[in-house]
Amino acid sequence: MKRLILLTMILLLLVSALAGCSKGKETPTAVVAEGGLPADAMAIAQERGLTPADINAALKTFVPSGKWDDYYMFTSGGHSGNLIVIGIPSMRILKNIAVFTPEAWQGYGIGDLGSEAVLDGGNVDDVKIRMGDSHHPALSETAGDYDGQWVFINDKASARVAVIDLRDFRTKQIVKDPNIISNHGSTFVTPNTEYVIQGTQYAVPMGWEYAPIENYKEEYRAVITLWKFDRDKGRIIPEESFSIEVPPYWQDLCDAGKLVSEGWGFCNSFNTELFTGGNMQGNPQFESGVSQRDMDYLHIFNWKKAAEVIAAGKYEEINGMRVIRIPTAVEEGILYLAPEPKSPHGVDVTPDGKYIVVAGKLDPHVTVYAMNKIEQAIADKKWAPDEFGVPVLDFDSVMLAQVELGLGPLHTQFDGQGNAYTSLFLDSALAKWKLGGDDPAAYALLEKTPVQYNVGHIAAAEGDTVSPDGKYLVALNKWALDRFLPVGPLLPQNLQLMDITGSPQVIYDMAMGVGEPHYAQIVKADKLSPINVYPEIGWDPIEWKVSEFATKAGEERIERDGNQVTIFSTSIRSHLTPDRIELKQGDHVTWHITNIETAHDAVHGFQLGGQNVSLSIEPSATVSFEFDANNSGTYAYYCTEFCSALHLEMMGYMLVAP
Ligand code: CUK
Ligand code: CUA
């Protein structure tokens, strides 16, 4: 065993030395060549009980101090309501972007008026929603390739969609679907990010109005919404968006067609039984009630045609959203269904856009549909209507192949080399299988790799584009059990990095102590170009222009109009100006702070004791907040970022006279 380790070490060092040759003087080539095998490497490996496979994995994932990762991964934070940015291959967390849930470090939704307004965009009726259940991030695409400009993510709990700007990694907008209360098949973008697709999860009457549950079939409905994205404005434009009404099946995941299937979208569903619960009224549990039929329905919709139908005015406006009703969608050839085996979960379009892979939770197979077969079946009218009049295409006419993979297949990814990878929830494994093109006999299971444990989604490098990179795949596992030091009954998530260049191998276990990740996307790092500092002093990060409240050095002031007090402040290492604020009890205070620094990383934070305020004032930004000085007293405010040696002195007194 010792000799094997030694051999592996030497081999690996040789390989890395050779690989280093092409990269220039910064690589450790010289060190290895001159010094040979580091004398203590063997001892370290022995002392730590590392196997050759461990050493391999360590060398593949280690990113030396000061070096950067090759990829960004954007993973949903589940019911933390956030979006987490991770470097690959190191699996280091780079940022936890606040999206649906306030977060104090980023000063998101804790006083800052800009982010409060973003969050208010997602309010439901008169309820200020300050949490979310984020599921599926989608990077913006150009010609079916990630372009590194924007990322979108949904909130399943309240049917909302958020827009995050990758120039500054901040949430800029949240929109609420006016007709449904939960979504799931979102977010997925069309190949040029014309639209952000959002599908319903649990059907409700339009606008979640009250209707007796007995009226489920008549009154409950779902929609597939196409949120129009305007790149120049960097915003979803609700007035230019529209929905397609669909039957009250529980739509699940969606995906957008690409290349040959561009213009189409796909959402699968379960509960085509139209089951409505009632376990205390003697009915079965939901889990069996919604799983009685052998087939559910893949929804196949033509969003390009739908946009034309909208332009032609063939819609109804419902709660401010333009909706194509089911009969119009059927008449115009916008909506079709195809049977899919038992309670499917994931639907994924292959990189060439030719095939659609559906995985059924209760079926050991993945089912592959061919776009050309779907189009042929539509042309040949090989269908029979469902109970809502929607054409159900003949299964055998559209299905190309079925591959038996194992228990609980959920989600599928691709490596761009003709292979597909599907997560097997019940087997706790990753199945690698071969795509067979138009030849059903050529589809085959290749191998299975155990993961720990109960894998949900998987994400491959550039996996949802027209040209996936292969190389890396991350298994987003639902259970961690024994993998990490115990931290009580709520365990971290286990994100496992896998090397898929050959036979898939787990090379890193990453404990993530933040909400449950559902989906993730992995993008080549050089596609992004984030800014270091806002473009001009006084920048409003949300409006992306100089704030009208920007304050220059020397212009700091306190203005009073009756009991309305407005404070114009600046921050610079190491003082806040003004540093003394005199108020009267009952004043309403609006306070603007401009960070007049332009230096990279010269962030100042701000907290005000006794008020619920936490700000992040990034270099050149202007941030505003307001409060009522209802209680007299003496308060301290200070900078929360340890920005300089004299950071502790970066404070001020706020006195509220009775
Ligand atoms: S879901 Cu969580 S494992 Cu919301 Cu895409 Cu499948
Ligand atoms: Cu600014 Cu500490």
**pLDDT, averaged across the chain:** 94
Pick from 584, 595, 598: nearest CA to 639 = 595
Atom of ligand 1 nearest to the CA of 519: 5
Exposed / middle / buried, residue 210 (Cβ in 10 Å: 0-12, 13-18, 19+) = exposed
Answer yes or no: do 265 and 214 share one domain.
Answer: yes
Per the structure, how many domains does the chain have? 3
> Does residue 238 sit in the same domain as residue 345?
yes
- Name the 3-class secondary structure at 622: strand
Residue 107 has pLDDT above 60, yes or no: yes
Residues 349 and 421 in one domain: yes
- Which ligand is closest to the CA of 639, given by its number? 2
Ligand 2 pocket check for 641: Cβ under 6 Å: yes
Given a cut of 60, whether residue 450 has pLDDT beyond it is yes
Query: What confidence tens digit (pLDDT) does each residue in 547-590 have?
Result: 999 999 999 999 999 999 999 999 999 999 999 999 999 999 99
Domain's final residue, options 484, 505, 527: 527
Average pLDDT over residues 390-408: 98
Does any ligand 1 atom lie closer than 6 A to the CB of residue 79?
Answer: no
- In short, whether 410's Cβ falls inside 6 Å of ligand 1 is yes
Tens of pLDDT, residues 333-367 = 999 999 999 889 999 999 999 999 999 888 999 99
Query: Residue 502 and residue 102: Cα distance in Å, rounded?
Result: 42
87 and 169 share a domain? yes
Res. 210: pLDDT tops 70? yes
Q: Counting ligands in written order, which one lies closest to the CA of residue 516?
A: 1
Q: Which ligand is nearest to the CA of 606?
A: 2
Distance from the CA of 210 to the center of ligand 1, in angstroms? Answer: 28
Task: Note whether 193 and 313 are same-domain residues.
Answer: yes
- Ligand 1 neighbourhood includes 135 CB (under 6 angstroms): yes
Q: Which of 479, 501, 527 is the last residue of a domain?
A: 527
Query: Tell me, what CATH number does 186's domain have?
Result: 2.130.10.10
Index of the ligand 1 atom closest to the CA of residue 135: 4
**556-561 own/partner pairs: CB under 8 Å, 24+ apart:** 558/582
Contact 85, 95 (CB under 8 A): yes
Same domain, 46 and 83: no
User: Residue 610 Cα, ligand 1 centroid: separation in angstroms?
Assistant: 40
Ligand 1 binding pocket mutation candidate from 253, 357, 412 (most atoms within 8 A of CB): 253
Q: What is the position in ligand 2's atom list of the atom closest to the CA of 644?
A: 2
The SS3 assignment for 117 reads helix
Nearest CA to ligand 1 atom 2: 518
Give yes or no for residue 643 CB within 6 A of ligand 2.
yes
Same domain for 17 and 83, yes or no, is: no
Q: How far is the CA of 457 from the centre of ligand 1 (A)?
A: 6
Quick one: tokens of 258?
């690409």
Residue whose token pair is 């006279």: 657
Task: Go through 314-332 and write b for each residue having 16 or more CB atoms within 10 A of its CB, e for each that does not.
Answer: bbeebeebbbbbbebbbeb
Q: Do 507 and 630 reside in the same domain of the chain?
A: no
pLDDT for the residue 20: 37
Q: Does 66 map to a domain?
A: no
- In this structure, is residue 262 part of a structural domain? yes
Atom number, ligand 1, closest to the C-alpha of residue 136: 5
pLDDT at 35 (0 to 100): 53
pLDDT at residue 7 greater than cutoff 60:
no
- With a 6 Å cutoff on the Cβ, whether 136 touches ligand 1 is yes
So what's the pLDDT on residue 416?
Answer: 96
Residue owning the nearest CA to atom 1 of ligand 2? 604
In a domain, 60, yes or no: no
Supply the pLDDT for residue 21. 39
Region 324-333: mean pLDDT is 98
**Does residue 18 sit in the same domain as residue 136?**
no
pLDDT score for 183: 98
Same-domain status, 508 and 574: no
Residue 140 sits in the same domain as residue 197: yes
How many CB atoms within 10 Å of residue 268? 30
pLDDT of residue 1: 43
- Ligand 1 center to residue 518 CA distance, Å? 5
What is the mean pLDDT of the segment spanning 162-180? Answer: 98
State CA 29 to chain mean position distance. Answer: 39
> From the CA of 425, which ligand is nearest?
1
The tens digit of pLDDT for each residue in 502-511 reads 999 999 999 9
User: Among 474, 500, 527, which residue terminates a domain?
Assistant: 527
Residue 220 forms beta bridges with which residues?
205
Confidence class for position 41, pLDDT limits 50, 70, 90 = confident
Atom of ligand 1 nearest to the CA of 518: 2
Strands (E) located in 156-241: 160-165, 170-176, 188-189, 195-199, 204-205, 220-230, 235-236
The domain containing residue 261 runs over which residues? Answer: 71-278+286-527
Which percentage of the chain shows pLDDT scores above 70? 94
Q: What proportion of the chain, given as a percentage, has pLDDT over 90?
A: 92
pLDDT tens by residue, 251-277:
999 999 999 999 999 999 999 999 999
63 part of a folded domain: no
Distance 529 CA to ligand 1 centre (A): 29
Ligand 1 midpoint to CA 517 (Å): 8
Give 222's DSSP letter: E
Q: Which of 135, 270, 424, 516 to mutate to test the pocket of ligand 1 (most atoms within 8 A of CB)?
A: 135
Per-residue model confidence (pLDDT) at position 30 = 43
Beta-carbon neighbour count of residue 31 at 10 Å?
12
Which range among 51-55, 319-323, 476-480, 482-486 shows the weakest confidence by mean pLDDT? 51-55
Residue 200 domain-assigned (yes or no): yes
User: Mean per-residue pLDDT for 185-206?
Assistant: 98
Which atom of ligand 1 has the smallest separation from the CA of 423? 3
309 in a structural domain? yes
Q: Are residues 563 and 511 in the same domain?
A: no
CATH of the domain at 552: 2.60.40.420
Which ligand does the CA of 409 lie closest to?
1
Residues with Cβ within 8 Å of residue 606, at least 6 apart in sequence: 107, 571, 576, 593, 613, 614, 615, 616, 617, 623, 637, 638, 639, 640
Cis peptide bond upstream of 453, omega within 30 = yes
Q: Is the CB of 650 under 6 A from ligand 2?
A: yes
pLDDT at 3 over 60: no
Rounded to the nearest angstrom, the distance between the alpha carbon of 654 and the centre of ligand 2 is 18
Question: Does pLDDT of 537 surpass 80?
Answer: yes
- The confidence band for 657, taking pLDDT boundaries of 50, 70 and 90, is very high
Q: Which of 410, 425, 458 has most ligand 1 atoms within 8 Å of CB, for mutation?
A: 410
pLDDT-derived band at 86 (thresholds 50, 70, 90) equals very high
The residue whose CA is least distant from atom 3 of ligand 1 is 456
Distance CA 341, CA 448 (A): 22
In this structure, is residue 497 part of a structural domain?
A: yes
pLDDT in the model for residue 437: 98
Residue 347 has a pLDDT of 97
Q: Whose CA is nearest to atom 1 of ligand 1?
A: 518
Q: Check pLDDT > 80 for residue 285.
A: yes
158 domain residue, yes or no: yes
